[in-house]
Amino acid sequence: MPENTSILDGPRPLPFVGNLPEFARDQKTHRVLERWADEYGLTYRFRLGRQEVVATADPAHVDVLLRRRPDDFRRAVRSSTIIDEIVPRGVFTAEGDRWRRLRKVATQSLNAAYLRQYFTTITMVTERLLRQWEAAAGSGARVDVLDLMMRYTLDVTVGLAMGHDLNALESTGDGLHTRVKQLFPAISRRINAALPYWRYAKLPQDRRLDATVREIEALVGERFAAARVRVAAGDPPSNFLEALVRPLENEPEITDEEVFGNVLAMLLGGEDTTSSTAAWALHYLAENPDIHAKVRAEADEVLGEQRLPGDPGTVGRLKYAEAVVNEVLRFQPVAPFLLLEPTSDVTLTGRDGSELFAPKGLPIFVLMSYGARRDTERFGDPDVFRPERWLEGKLPPEALPFAPFGAGPRYCPGRNLALIEAAMVTSVLGREFDFEPDHSAGAVVERMEFTTFPTNLNLRVRTRAATATR
């Protein structure tokens, strides 16, 4: 007979608010969830307000929850509804047959064949990034690493998604790049809000948010019209929007709302996640000169006279840079958990064989990367940042308990693109510049606003040649 969730241990809830105060404190939700798993076991329960929720890092549960989608589990209704209220419904929040259709579109346009075409955009934006760092090295200015990485991934994603050169990297002052940054914090603020006030009265911040979404919508509409013209003229698709013009085999034509929803899903899925990963990678190079030296030696060997990799295959040969990125994803996963719920009553079997009854609609926090920081057998010295562990042939990449891109049918379709961007940035910047951590604004601290990211990540940079001649 499966046990009810009432047998689970968990932190003691306060009246009315439950465990919300501790959960939402310090923008470190993921660390609170991990600490509770340390204290109360791999599967535990707690309360957010009056809502009973469960969290699990049990690999057997995590595996079933991630794989049996969309039929048996879905993204939690509450968070999906909040996201859908902000941006139109895209692949991330879609469920059932609608998801199946949008997913096909998303994976097709992000597949390896298109990535080869997209590579020119990636290298063009990387050239621009190098120029920014050269300027900082010349002037001695402090580099706000996360800000530059966000501009970089935004330029890449907008370029790939819409064939539009936003040039956030070289823009000064306010622009779409500053406004897009509001999207994740806004989603996070609303998910953690005690009351859905915005459904009754909008604050200035909500109106600004609506205006940003309308601005992106207008840009997508304009670019989609241009995409239709190009494709009608017989040109092969060169960006995500152009790939969307032709309907998929046996599928109806995609609607304008779906086009917009999927482009926004790419922007949201691709920007903060990849920028945070790349920023952390540069942080670990700055903190670990021996690791930095190895990245540089590899880049010298693989790239030779070339400043940038000429094709995705060359990025694939930057194995050490990729190992640094994998270690970042283990150490500082940008999406450390997902919030799912059963679509009907279900019994889950844990790795110890125990059975747990989970009723339809029970919110379940799925901790996908907890084990990778706790499993001493597979990840010896898990608290040490050691990229070499990924090159020793002992770790199956991305098998539980390490699933930074999720798993199963909803696995991140942008993984390859993200790895190319992050490994490229780590390798080419690591090769050309020396880094010195700048803690004048405070220590580097991680935060979580829907995804995790570093704050106060500042560096002083010098060109390698300048250092060598000193």
Residue of the chain from 323, 338, 400, 448 that contacts ligand HEM (CB under 6 A): 338
Residue of the chain from 60, 91, 282, 286 that contacts ligand HEM (CB under 6 A): 91
DSSP 124: H
Asked if 269 touches ligand HEM (CB under 6 A), the answer is: yes
**Smaller CB separation from ligand HEM, 212 or 369:** 369
Show contacts with ligand HEM in window 3-62 (CB under 6 A). Answer: none
Residue of the chain from 124, 192, 411, 464 that contacts ligand HEM (CB under 6 A): 411
The answer to whether residues 429 and 130 touch, using CB atoms and an 8 Å cutoff, is yes
Say what the alpha-carbon torsion angle 386, 41, 49, 196 is, to the nearest 10 degrees.
40
State the helix-helix crossing angle for 256-287 and 145-162, rounded to 10 degrees: 150
Q: For the stretch 25-47, what's the b/e string if a residue is b when 16 or more beta carbons lie within 10 angstroms of its beta carbon?
A: eebbbbebbbebbeebebbbbbb
Q: Which stretch binds ligand HEM (CB under 6 A): 164-172, 191-199, 270-278, 357-365?
A: 270-278
Asked if 106 touches ligand HEM (CB under 6 A), the answer is: yes
Residue with tokens 């990840």: 379
Residue of the chain from 114, 260, 405, 453 that contacts ligand HEM (CB under 6 A): 405
Shortest Å distance, C-beta 48 to ligand HEM: 20
DSSP 405: T
Asked if 281 touches ligand HEM (CB under 6 A), the answer is: no
Asked if 259 touches ligand HEM (CB under 6 A), the answer is: no
User: Within 13 Å and on the Cβ side, how many CA atoms surround 13?
Assistant: 17
Joined together, the tokens standing for residue 212 give: 């940003």
What is the C-alpha to C-alpha distance for residues 454 and 146, in angstroms, rounded to an integer?
7
Asked if 332 touches ligand HEM (CB under 6 A), the answer is: no
Residue of the chain from 125, 149, 266, 303 that contacts ligand HEM (CB under 6 A): 266
H helices of 233-376, in order, are 240-245, 256-287, 289-303, 312-316, 319-331
Asked if 370 touches ligand HEM (CB under 6 A), the answer is: no
Asked if 70 touches ligand HEM (CB under 6 A), the answer is: no
Shortest Å distance, C-beta 194 to ligand HEM: 26
Asked if 414 touches ligand HEM (CB under 6 A), the answer is: yes
Asked if 369 touches ligand HEM (CB under 6 A), the answer is: no
Instruction: Identify whether 401 is preceded by a cis peptide bond (ω within 30 of 0).
Output: yes
Which residues bind to ligand HEM, rule: CB under 6 A?
66, 91-92, 103, 106, 157, 265-266, 269-270, 273-274, 277, 334-335, 338, 404-407, 410-414, 417-418
